[in-house]
């Protein structure tokens, strides 16, 4: 069973529906015991970084997520959920600490790119890791993004895919049991469903 963490922030129903569509059992839950017993865990997220971290703290999910990682249970962060895995975000003007499970920072797209922010819609991926959640995913596959802030991972070996939107940024990461996608696989058509299938098959 895949546990989708309910901490009051996120695209819960659409992720759950996507797993159901591909025949994978999943459940939206805030029960620590259920999350820790799950075979895999998803950390979704939509909205502001600081609000999401506050929600994780208030629901006592930070320690639960840390235990998930300690156990080696596959963990997938989606969109803001991926950003939360890292050291900090500058959203709001200050450095807001994240979970610090991976090293890196989240910053706003430059205002002088000449492109609309947020980055919203379909864009192509440059695949850096062809295994794991990207097994069988073709180079330049298109996926769906909605975000104003982007990740820069401190260790390039953890970058599973990049994307270009005025600048080239880290669009997906993978280190051991920890994975993340800036894009929404549950909204990315057949490619996104294949990524979720790969996650479920880990």
Active site residues: 79, 184, 186
Residue 11 CA: distances (Å) to CA of 34, 108, 186: 19, 21, 9
**Short-list 43, 39, 44, CA closest to 1:** 39
Contact in structure between 127 and 163 (CB atoms under 8 Å): no
Look up tokens 């797209």; give the residue. 109
For the beta carbon of residue 175, count every other beta carbon within 10 angstroms.
18
Residue 156 CA: distances (Å) to CA of 1, 64, 112, 129, 175: 31, 27, 25, 11, 11
194 is written with which tokens?
């294949």
For the beta carbon of residue 44, count every other beta carbon within 10 angstroms.
27
Task: Determine the Cα–Cα distance for residues 96 and 118; give it in Å rounded to an integer.
Answer: 20
Contact in structure between 193 and 144 (CB atoms under 8 Å): no
């Amino acid at each position: 069973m895949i546990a989708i963490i309910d901490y009051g922030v996120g695209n819960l129903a659409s992720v759950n529906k996507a797993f159901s569509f591909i025949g994978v059992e999943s459940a939206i839950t805030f029960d620590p015991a259920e999350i820790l017993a799950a075979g895999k865990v998803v950390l979704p997220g939509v909205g502001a970084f600081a609000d999401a971290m506050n929600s994780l703290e208030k629901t006592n999910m930070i320690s639960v997520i840390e235990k998930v990682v300690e156990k080696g249970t596959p963990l997938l962060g989606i969109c803001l959920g991926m950003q939360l895995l890292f050291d900090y975000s500058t959203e709001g003007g200050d450095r807001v600490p994240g979970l610090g499970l991976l090293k890196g920072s989240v910053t706003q797209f430059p205002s002088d790119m000449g492109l609309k922010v947020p980055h919203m819609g379909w864009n192509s991926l440059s695949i850096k890791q062809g295994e794991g959640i990207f097994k069988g995913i073709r180079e330049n596959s298109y996926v769906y993004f909605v975000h104003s802030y982007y990740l820069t991972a401190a260790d390039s070996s953890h970058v599973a895919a990049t994307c270009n939107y005025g600048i080239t940024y880290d669009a997906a990461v993978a280190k051991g049991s920890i994975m993340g996608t800036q894009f929404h696989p549950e909204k990315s058509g057949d490619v996104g469903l294949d990524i979720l299938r790969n996650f479920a098959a880990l």
